Amino acid sequence: HEAKLEEAEKAADESERGMKVIENRAMKDEEKMELQEIQLKEAKHIAEEADRKYEEVARKLVIIEGDLERTEERAELSESKCSELEEELKTVTNNLKSLEAQAEKYSQKEDKYEEEIKVLTDKLKEAETRAEFAERSVAKLEKTIDDLEDELYAQKLKYKAISEELDHALNDMTSI
């Protein structure tokens, strides 16, 4: 009987040790799972932030593309007006040359044409200034678009990295 009792006590001790090992392992697994849940929450938060930034950049890009389109239209209009005024100026200049040949007879008319040339030249200068301004605006907007596209690309890369990190965290959790 004593031997059986001793054997039973030994078995009970081993069983208790085994239980403690299993309890410790379960506790460690639980801690690991809690940590992974925290990491998952952080990763989700980062992903949401990246999504928000991505959408913001995409919105800005749409607005700037619209601005660029309108500015390009204005520049084209200015350039077209500039060409018209240059043609008009050539015509007036040619008229002036023929008038100068008859300068003595048409002195009063000449003064009138010179005034017309001055007005047209002023209009031409104004149109050229507007066209130059429009061209500068287009260049600025194109640079802004390039910068935004670079930022968009960087955000996409961040988003991809975060998605991969999320996948790993989910895989780790499911393999527990």
pLDDT digits (tens, 9 = 90+) for 115-162: 999 999 999 999 999 999 989 998 999 999 899 999 999 999 999 999
CA gap 113, 136 in Å, rounded: 34
- Mind listing the pLDDT tens digit for each residue in 14-24? 999 999 999 99
* pLDDT score at 104: 62
* pLDDT score at 111: 81
- Mind listing the pLDDT tens digit for each residue in 54-91? 999 999 999 999 999 999 999 999 999 989 999 999 99
CATH fold label, 2-174: Helix Hairpins (1.10.287)
Query: Residue written as tokens 């403690």?
Result: 20
CA gap 159, 157 in Å, rounded: 5
How many CB atoms are located within 10 Å of the residue 155 CB?
19
pTM: 0.34
CA gap 137, 158 in Å, rounded: 31
Q: Is residue 52 over pLDDT 90?
A: yes
Structure tokens at 119: 């007005």
Residue-wise burial string across 3-24, b where 16 or more C-beta atoms lie within 10 A, e elsewhere? eeeeeeeeeeeeeeeeeeeeee
CA gap 36, 30 in Å, rounded: 10
Residues 6+ positions from 56 with CB-CB distance below 8 Å: none
Q: Is residue 4 over pLDDT 90?
A: no
Boundaries of every domain in the chain:
2-174
